Amino acid sequence: MKRPRQPLFHARQGYRRRRLTDAARLLPILGLFLFFLPVLWRPAATPEPDTAGGGVYLFAVWFILILVAGLLARLLSGGEPGRPQDGEERD
Amino acid sequence: MVPFNILVAVCLAYVCLLFLVAFAAERRAERGQVGWLRSPIVYTLSLSIYCTAWTFYGAVGYAARSGLEFITIYLGPTLVLIGWWWVLRKLVRIGRNHRVTSIADLISARYGKSNALGVIVTVISVVAATPYIALQLQSVTLSFGVFASHTPEGWGMPDQGATALWVAGGLTLFTILFGTRNLDANERHHGVVMAIALEAVVKLVALLAVGVFTVWVVAGGVGDVMAKIDASPIADWPLQPGRWMGLTFVSAAAILTLPRMFQVMVVENSDERHLATASWAFPLYLLLMSLFVIPIAVVGLATLPEGANPDLFVLTLPLAVGQEKLAMLAFLGGFSSATSMVIVAAIALATMVSNHVVTPLWLSLRRGGARAPGDVRGLVLMSRRVSIAGILGLGYAYYALSGGSAALAAIGLISFVGVSQILPALIGGIFWRGGTGTGAALGLGTGFLVWLYALYLPSFGSGGLLSPSLLAEGPWGIGWLRPQALFGIATLDPLLHALFWSMVLNTAAYVMGSLLTFPGPIERMQGVAFVNVFDHDPVARGWSRGGAEAEDLLAMSQGILGAEEAQRFFQNAAEAQGKGGFLPDTTPDFIEALERRLGGAVGAATAHAMIAQFAVGAAVSAQDLMAVASEAQQILEYSTQLEAKSEELARTARQLGEANDKLTELSVQKDAFLSQISHELRTPMTSIRAFSEILMDPELPGEMQQKYASIIHEEAIRLTRLLDDLLDLSVLENRKVQLNMKVANLHDLINRAVQAASNTRPERVFTMHRDFPTEHMPVITDTDRLVQVFINLVSNARKYCDAERPSLTISVRQRRGRITVDFIDNGTGIPRKSQSLIFEKFSRLTDTARAGGAGLGLAICREIMVNLGGTIAYLPGQGGAAFRVTLPVRPERKDEAEAA
């Protein structure tokens, strides 16, 4: 006899969605951290000038941020179209 | 080399293309085919006005001077965009809910619709934008100059001032043509946005083309460029942590507070979901715009002669290797960057100036205030046009004054720090309920003054506007007040120093001011509505019942929104309340909605002031305040439901009450009419009887017989007419009438009616105002019946218009398959309480003797119009009696009518 498994919490979708908005909120903070990281390198610490490398690093971080933002935007707006957005603010 | 004439021709052709695109977009939007005009891609592309000529030319120059530091200008906006869930989403929602027209409007609306704040923000924005606009003029002029300097002879470059003047003039024209076509900022500028999106593509393609050309043609691919970068002088740039973080911060602040960014991001936003797309697409655009900046700078420094202006490498590099077409494309890219920025900035600033400075000033100056506003619409549009010209004029003046010499990047940053002063009031306003108007004014004022003193004025150079001694020793020799070393901090560079002190003092003044002052009631309600914009529909309710008369409000709104728009708004509101006609009850909800609608046209503060004139003393009740102060949100929500129910009940009760009143009045009227009609029937009967008795006398002379017989005849005709009318009415009411449909020209029908009605009181001189060209339109209807209605209306006007010089205006309009014909005279009109009765049978307002009819005319008209598929209604608030006849261009088919 197999009982159908009941989910412990019903609003699984809503839960996912709220964590997604958390991620969307945290993304700029992550970006800020990564963009300010070069400040700690200080070119003085490396005798060889590394502008090219620094540039590549910044553009790479930038591009990854865009990718993640695109993904989050898709998930956030594609999930439930037409759903009123009012409830999202409350957890 | 490209001759000057060709360059100018290409520019003009490009501008013509923009005109066409803008025009086509406007046309499409007018026909309601918004579709892809409002796609997320167009929205994202319109945001690209962030990339001005400063980006296009200046970024390379910046990179040549300070290495990778240029990138901070794009990192800030990237963080703001990918963090849209924090701020932008809220801003856009607030902007839509409150019909915000500009950033000044947002600040003024948040802090209690205070116009003083609107003025402060407007002043900051205009002062900060002036150097920025000058910068755009300068870059276009310089880029013309690049082509000039390579020509040995031939077209001498006129002088640079003249070029800048031509550019400024052309931009003014374009902006006025497309930016001030419609008044309501929320109606959005489809044409301009479309043109900007096109320009965004052009500048991206141009910069990418130059970049690809530089990396793979001039240099030898990616590896070679990487090696060149490390070998070039750029590699030695020192990363200054303060500047790195400060510039990221200031650019992030600027994208939120620049008036032009606010315009495209919030005001022109048509769908919140577009923001989700823009959150990654706009950073991608920025990334692509900056991708080739360092390579171009490095290769430019290596290949171009010593002393070449790095700000122009984007142009000079292709020219140096003989790629004229590429240079031309780059030139168009730069031209696009400059023009799109100037156009949007001018529109945004002009809206602010007209809404917060000109209109309030005009309202306070004229006697009678908003009570008799006349045509505010014309004034607002005119003031916007003049402001656009004025703002571009200021930009030109700054360009002429500063001599156009400073490096591009420096000017742009000064401007950025200036608009950043709005940030504390903005962020505080949408996240902190405790922020007050006084605090905001103190913060804005402090920040603005520090910025002026520490950055803006010194930017004119020592000996410019501040004397060298003041710069070196401070005012009156007070060392700690030196503009570039306030409080003795001399280690920071001037820009960072000004940013640091202005933001610190600004925020401190804002917070202290807010903590120490007590906000007014409207301010507190607006605060709740803004901070909790996602929680529920706006609860802020500034108006309680009383004071305002719907008819006065309609008359005022017509002056601002235009007659048609205002009438439609009032009609819809009345319908929503379950009433017919144009005059809804002046419930708080209605006044709130009206205020917001007006706010969309003239800004929140002005709209509030105008409404306040009608609802004096009715602003806020103690209960409202309690509701706002109360922390018990659940109770509020529960009571909202109750309120909705009780509102519905109240509406039903109102409808019933109205129906009852009408019935009572009708029954009184009917009694009166019955006695009247028996009188009307009896009078002719009596005379017929009397005269026929006399006629029985055989000895009556012949001419007397003749006379009495004709009297009997006339009385009989009168009786017949009365009975005909009654019969006609009953046929019409039972919908048994046979309609004789024909095609006719409306103009001819009106002519017939005017002709036929001219024998009513022919002794009066009556002026007709008609616009013949608009009247010519075909209509399929029962022409005789329609003319009957027209005759009735015209002869009514002739009969009852009591003006000394009576006149009648007939205006015709066609819209969505329906024709409206308005008949407006200049008499005293019909009193409010009678307006709902005039179309009833047997109703007559004046003495019967003068009217000479039985009071059936308008009732018959109404029935005819119903039979023709149209309506007839009284139009209040037109300064006289006014009737509106509406009818379909062609009759609806039976099955359609039944389906509907």
Q: CB distance from A33 to chain B under 8 Å?
A: no
Provide the pairing of β-strand B871-874 with B882-888.
antiparallel
pLDDT (0 to 100) of residue B181: 67
Task: Mark yes or no for CB contact B283/A88 under 8 Å.
Answer: no
Angle at B44 (CA atoms; ends B43, B49), nearest 5 degrees: 95
More confident residue, B51 or B187: B51
More confident residue, B700 or B501: B501
User: Between A and B, how many residue pairs show a Cβ–Cβ distance under 8 A?
Assistant: 108
Cα B594 to the chain's mean position, in Å?
14
Q: Is the pLDDT score of B855 beyond 90?
A: no
Average pLDDT over residues B105-119: 89
Task: Mark yes or no for CB contact B287/A59 under 8 Å.
Answer: yes
Q: How confident is the model at residue B159 (pLDDT cuts 50, 70, 90)?
A: low
Residue of B nearest to A21 (CA): B85
Q: CB distance from A79 to chain B under 8 Å?
A: no
Average pLDDT over residues B592-616: 73
Which ipTM value was assigned to this complex? 0.81
Q: How confident is the model at residue A55 (pLDDT cuts 50, 70, 90)?
A: confident
Question: Poorest-confidence range of A18-27, B399-408, B415-424, B585-594?
Answer: B399-408
Read out DSSP for B736-778? -PPP-EEEEEHHHHHHHHHHHHTTSSTTS--EEEE-HHHH--E
User: Hey, CA dihedral for B80, B81, B86, B89, is it positive or negative?
Assistant: positive
From chain B, pick out residues whose CB is under 8 angstroms from the CB of A27. 82-83
Alpha-carbon distances of B46 from B82, B770, B868, rounded to whole Å: 17, 44, 48
Q: How confident is the model at residue A3 (pLDDT cuts 50, 70, 90)?
A: low
Q: Is the pLDDT score of B669 beyond 80?
A: no
Give B249-305 pLDDT, tens digit per residue: 999 999 999 999 998 999 888 888 889 999 999 999 999 999 999 999 988 888 888
What is the rounded average pLDDT for all residues in chain B?
81
How far apart are the C-alpha atoms of B594 and B571, rounded to whole Å?
A: 12
pLDDT (0 to 100) of residue A43: 52
Give B59-76 pLDDT, tens digit per residue: 888 888 888 888 999 999
Q: How confident is the model at residue A48 (pLDDT cuts 50, 70, 90)?
A: low
pLDDT (0 to 100) of residue B411: 75
Q: CB distance from A75 to chain B under 8 Å?
A: no
Q: Return the top range by mean pLDDT from B294-308, B470-484, B497-511, B566-580.
A: B497-511
Q: How confident is the model at residue B670 (pLDDT cuts 50, 70, 90)?
A: confident
Q: Which of B234, B245, B284 sits opposite A51 (nearest CB)?
A: B234
Q: Which of B86, B280, B535 sits opposite A66 (nearest CB)?
A: B280
Number of Cβ within a 10 Å radius of residue B634: 8
Q: Is the pLDDT score of B317 beyond 70?
A: yes
Q: Which of A36, A58, A88 sits opposite B245 (nearest CB)?
A: A36
pLDDT (0 to 100) of residue B848: 44
Q: How confident is the model at residue B152 (pLDDT cuts 50, 70, 90)?
A: very low
Average pLDDT over residues B148-172: 65
Residue B635 C-alpha, separation from nearest chain A C-alpha, in angstroms:
17
Task: Mark yes or no for CB contact B273/A59 under 8 Å.
Answer: no
pLDDT (0 to 100) of residue B614: 67
Q: CB distance from A45 to chain B under 8 Å?
A: no
What is the rounded end-to-end Cα distance, in angstroms, of chain B?
Answer: 69
How far apart are the C-alpha atoms of B799 and B847, rounded to whole Å?
A: 12
Question: Poorest-confidence range of B572-581, B599-608, B847-856?
Answer: B847-856
Nearest in space to B542 (alpha carbons), one of B602, B608, B604, B597: B608
Interface residue of A18, A32, A90 to substitute, partner B, most B CBs within 10 Å: A32
From chain B, pick out residues whose CB is under 8 angstroms from the CB of A76. 276
pLDDT (0 to 100) of residue B896: 46
How far apart are the C-alpha atoms of B27 and B21, rounded to whole Å?
A: 10
* Residue-wise burial string across B269-286, b where 16 or more C-beta atoms lie within 10 A, e elsewhere: bbeebbbbbbbbbbbbbb
pLDDT (0 to 100) of residue B324: 83
More confident residue, B314 or B148: B314
Average pLDDT over residues B539-551: 53
How far apart are the C-alpha atoms of B74 and B68, rounded to whole Å?
A: 11
Residue of A nearest to B273 (CA): A77
More confident residue, B121 or B560: B121
Q: How confident is the model at residue B107 (pLDDT cuts 50, 70, 90)?
A: very high
Residue A39 C-alpha, separation from nearest chain B C-alpha, in angstroms:
5
From chain B, pick out residues whose CB is under 8 angstroms from the CB of A70. 279-281
Average pLDDT over residues B146-150: 67
pLDDT (0 to 100) of residue A8: 57
Average pLDDT over residues B83-100: 88
Q: Is the pLDDT score of B370 beyond 50?
A: no
Query: Which residues have CB under 8 Å from B537's CB, separation 6+?
Result: none
Query: Which residues have CB under 8 Å from B459's CB, separation 6+?
Result: B131, B406, B410, B411, B414
